[in-house]
């Protein structure tokens, strides 16, 4: 077993020289460290192996707000929502064994969506490790593939340094989840601790590659020669807090820009160069024109298969310029002509300096042309339906009209998610919170709770399907107890809609186990003392949405939408982006 001293030597950190300031337990020094790192809110659930930390927490109630969730998965999704809405590191606590294993889905979600988290799990006494003790699980090995870093603390002397490293790793470079597993003896251990020192260097860890000007120059050259340049942006712009730099870049170069769902909101929806969404259910123009652009500038995105469709028919005609902070992403799925490693906060201004001012009017007009076609064939019927059945799109249109793009929209996973991402208007960054990479049903409700704590002044609307809501409805209890004013909008089509859509389109309408029944959601909410209503006719929709949004405190609104509506356009799996279907 390593000692703290060895760890310090390995990481190249300077030995602690400051005088002893604090005498207490490992638990106390952990909480002190969290405060030093600026943590205000913790989502957690206690249990046997984390009891000393909870005991210490009792005395920290004035400094650390602890939200008692109803399930550890809810806790970690809430921490994710908090991180995504606030730009800070989300923190959650769980006990050993089942508590820790319940975090796994959230860790995987945070890992694939690069969400900064620090998760603290309790662990059995160090002397019991490996004995199959009560609530012992090998959390470190279970979570290794789904964490950016993890570490098991068995000696309280390690806690400060490990915690400092954890925060540094979670938020620097390409962010990600970190898990610290602390054995009970270390939580109880009485020690004299030095002053807490934040970490800003680990010798084996390069959070961001050094920017090399020659590649910026090469990129600028390619961009300046382009006739039909096209920018694809992802969450990297938001994570890098480079929204302004990004806007300046596309505005100077006059390049149409389309987003992945993780990048949604990095520039306002209404920005004239924002041409819409990429990928499977993205907009018509961005998908088709991907295969016509002569230069594609990918910024902070990773060419996920949902974005690229069939790879061997993806943008083969285009020179790719790829800006990313993670060297492993460049040339991973799509070969780059010029790869610009680095933080886009640094690389974008350099690139902006070197690119020529341009407008690309004719090229932009092409996007508008495709957009018009999509408006006529898909968007208008979805947003202004003529039939009796309500559509998810018209619900979103009403939300846009009421909130004017100022709300934070948290979605779950499925048809409603695609509709929300397609149609929700955003004026601000960090307004679209969704489970992008992992597609975690059950994410929406707890993530919205966290988002409300992360952005307390914003209206937070959780848009959730009837299926997804039934995966984590227990978090209504968290809302009941702590009063997070989350607006819960259930779009109920009485189907697991996205799977049903695929079964309709690709499996000869063999609706295999997608017919899902629901409880009385209104009664369920009311049993948690949450105001609720249900709408099944269009005539009541607007008023009901206004009531929900204007209601002080949390509110649940169930809207019955058409059973067999499909999300279009769609790039069928295995097809090229230019083979996108409008119906």
Query: With CB under 8 A as the contact rule, which of the stretches 56-64, 129-137, 139-147, 236-244 interacts with other proteins?
Result: 139-147
- Among 252, 332, 458, 538, indicate the residue that binds other proteins (CB under 8 A): 332
Q: To which residue do tokens 């790793």 refer?
A: 169
Give the separation between CA 53 and CA 31, rounded to whole angstroms.
8
Does 2 contact other proteins by CB under 8 A?
Answer: yes
Does 12 contact other proteins by CB under 8 A?
Answer: yes
Give the separation between CA 129 and CA 136, rounded to whole angstroms.
7
Choose between 309 and 339: whose C-beta lies nearer to other proteins. 339
- 292 classed as catalytic: no
Kindly provide the residue ranges of all beta strands, DSSP E only, lying in 268-370, ordered along the sequence. Answer: 274-277, 295-299, 319-324, 338-341
In the numeric block, which tokens belong to residue 488? Answer: 């819960």
- Among 59, 192, 331, 546, indicate the residue that binds other proteins (CB under 8 A): 331
Does 127 contact other proteins by CB under 8 A?
Answer: no
Total of chain residues touching other proteins, rule CB under 8 A: 38
- 167 classed as catalytic: no
Choose between 137 and 566: whose C-beta lies nearer to other proteins. 137
Give the separation between CA 532 and CA 387, rounded to whole angstroms.
26
Phi, psi torsion values for 301, nearest 5 degrees: -135, 165
Among 237, 265, 436, 227, residue whose Cα is nearest residue 323: 237
173 touches 209 (CB < 8 A): no
518 touches 494 (CB < 8 A): yes
- Among 60, 125, 205, 511, indicate the residue that binds other proteins (CB under 8 A): 205
- Given the residues 301, 498, 548, 570, select the one marked as catalytic: 498
Phi, psi torsion values for 573, nearest 5 degrees: -60, 140
- 134 classed as catalytic: yes
Give the separation between CA 427 and CA 12, rounded to whole angstroms.
44
Residues 159-178 that bind other proteins (CB under 8 A): 169
Give the separation between CA 499 and CA 509, rounded to whole angstroms.
11
- Among 336, 378, 379, 544, indicate the residue that binds other proteins (CB under 8 A): 336
Choose between 166 and 418: whose C-beta lies nearer to other proteins. 166
Give the separation between CA 448 and CA 469, rounded to whole angstroms.
12
Does 14 contact other proteins by CB under 8 A?
Answer: no
Give the separation between CA 425 and CA 359, rounded to whole angstroms.
24
Q: How far is the CB of 114 from other proteins (least distance, A)?
A: 12
Q: How far is the CB of 151 from other proteins (least distance, A)?
A: 8
Query: With CB under 8 A as the contact rule, which of the stretches 81-89, 211-219, 252-260, 352-360 interacts with other proteins?
Result: 211-219
- Given the residues 51, 65, 135, 526, select the one marked as catalytic: 135
Q: How far is the CB of 5 from other proteins (least distance, A)?
A: 12
Local structure of 93: helix, strand or coil = strand
- 72 classed as catalytic: yes
Contacts of 277 (CB under 8 A, 6+ apart): 258, 259, 260, 261, 264, 283, 286, 421, 422
Phi, psi torsion values for 374, nearest 5 degrees: -70, -40
- Among 23, 201, 316, 507, indicate the residue that binds other proteins (CB under 8 A): 201
Does 244 contact other proteins by CB under 8 A?
Answer: no
Query: With CB under 8 A as the contact rule, which of the stretches 194-202, 294-302, 357-365, 569-577 interacts with other proteins?
Result: 194-202
Does 150 contact other proteins by CB under 8 A?
Answer: yes
Choose between 11 and 427: whose C-beta lies nearer to other proteins. 11
Q: How far is the CB of 29 from other proteins (least distance, A)?
A: 22
Choose between 15 and 539: whose C-beta lies nearer to other proteins. 15
- Among 3, 10, 359, 369, indicate the residue that binds other proteins (CB under 8 A): 10
99 touches 47 (CB < 8 A): yes
- Among 48, 87, 268, 327, indicate the residue that binds other proteins (CB under 8 A): 327
Give the separation between CA 489 and CA 548, rounded to whole angstroms.
9
CA 131, distance to chain mean position in Å, is 37
- Given the residues 134, 192, 225, 506, select the one marked as catalytic: 134
Local structure of 67: helix, strand or coil = strand
Choose between 344 and 392: whose C-beta lies nearer to other proteins. 344
Local structure of 109: helix, strand or coil = helix
Q: How far is the CB of 341 from other proteins (least distance, A)?
A: 6
Does 215 contact other proteins by CB under 8 A?
Answer: yes
Calculate the alpha carbon distances from 270 to 261, 394, 405, 427, 491 in Å. Answer: 16, 18, 10, 8, 25
Local structure of 522: helix, strand or coil = helix
- Among 23, 63, 127, 212, indicate the residue that binds other proteins (CB under 8 A): 212
Q: Which residues in this chain contact other proteins in the complex, by CB under 8 A?
A: 1-2, 9-12, 140-141, 144-145, 148-150, 152, 169, 200-206, 209-210, 212, 214-215, 218, 326-328, 330-332, 336, 338-339, 341
Q: Give the residue numbers annotated as catalytic, written as ranges.
A: 72, 134-135, 184, 498
């Amino acid at each position: 077993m390593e000692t703290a001293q060895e760890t310090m030597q390995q990481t190249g950190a300077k030995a602690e020289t400051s005088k002893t300031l604090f005498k207490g337990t490992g638990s106390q020094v952990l909480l002190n460290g969290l405060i030093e790192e600026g943590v205000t809110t913790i989502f957690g659930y206690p249990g046997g192996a984390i009891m000393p930390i909870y005991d210490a927490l009792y005395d920290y109630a004035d400094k650390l707000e602890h939200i008692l969730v109803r399930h550890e998965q809810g806790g970690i999704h809430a921490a994710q929502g908090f991180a995504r809405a606030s730009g800070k590191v989300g923190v959650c606590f769980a006990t050993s064994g089942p508590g820790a294993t319940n975090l796994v889905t959230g860790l995987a979600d945070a890992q694939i969506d690069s969400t900064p988290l620090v998760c603290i799990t309790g662990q059995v006494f160090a002397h019991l490790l490996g004995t199959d003790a009560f609530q012992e699980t090998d959390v470190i090995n279970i979570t290794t593939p789904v964490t950016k870093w993890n570490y098991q603390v068995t000696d309280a002397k390690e806690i400060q340094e490990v915690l400092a490293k954890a925060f540094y790793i979670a938020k620097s470079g390409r962010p990600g989840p970190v898990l610290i597993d602390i054995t009970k003896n270390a939580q109880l251990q009485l020690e004299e601790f030095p002053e807490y020192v934040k970490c800003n260097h680990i010798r084996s860890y390069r959070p961001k590659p050094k920017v090399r000007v020659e590649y910026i120059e090469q990129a600028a050259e390619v961009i300046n020669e382009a006739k039909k340049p096209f920018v694809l942006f992802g969450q990297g712009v938001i994570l890098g807090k480079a929204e302004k730099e990004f806007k300046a870049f596309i505005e100077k170069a006059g390049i149409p820009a389309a987003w992945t769902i993780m990048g949604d909101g990095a520039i306002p929806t209404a920005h004239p160069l924002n041409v819409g969404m990429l990928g499977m259910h993205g907009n018509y123009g961005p998908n088709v024109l991907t295969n016509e652009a002569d230069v594609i500038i990918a910024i902070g995105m990773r060419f996920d298969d949902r974005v690229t469709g069939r790879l061997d028919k993806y943008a083969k005609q285009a020179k790719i310029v790829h800006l990313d902070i993670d060297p492993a992403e460049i040339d991973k799925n799509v070969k780059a002509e010029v790869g610009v490693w680095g933080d886009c906060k640094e690389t974008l201004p350099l690139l902006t300096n070197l690119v020529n001012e341009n407008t690309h009017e004719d090229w932009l007009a092409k996007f508008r042309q495709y957009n018009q076609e999509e408006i006529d064939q898909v968007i208008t019927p979805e947003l202004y339906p003529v039939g009796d059945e309500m559509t998810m799109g018209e619900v979103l249109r009403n939300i846009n009209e009421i909130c004017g793009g100022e709300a934070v929209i948290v979605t779950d996973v499925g048809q409603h998610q695609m509709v929300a991402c397609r149609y929700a208007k955003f004026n601000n960054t960090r307004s679209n919170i969704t489970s992008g990479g992992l597609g975690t049903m059950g994410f929406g409700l707890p993530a919205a709770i966290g988002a409300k704590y992360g952005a307390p002044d914003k209206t937070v609307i959780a848009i959730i399907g009837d299926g997804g809501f039934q995966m984590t409805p227990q978090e209504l209890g968290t809302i009941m107890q702590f009063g997070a004013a989350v607006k819960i909008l259930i779009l109920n089509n009485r189907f697991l809609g996205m799977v049903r859509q695929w079964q309709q389109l690709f499996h000869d309408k063999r609706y295999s186990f997608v017919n899902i029944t629901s409880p009385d959601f209104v009664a369920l909410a009311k049993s948690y003392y949450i105001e609720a209503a249900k709408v099944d006719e269009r005539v009541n929709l607007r008023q009901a949405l206004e009531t929900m949004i204007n209601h002080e405190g949390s509110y649940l609104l169930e809207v019955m939408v058409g059973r067999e509506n499909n999300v279009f356009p769609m790039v069928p799996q295995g097809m090229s982006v230019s083979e996108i279907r409008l119906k």
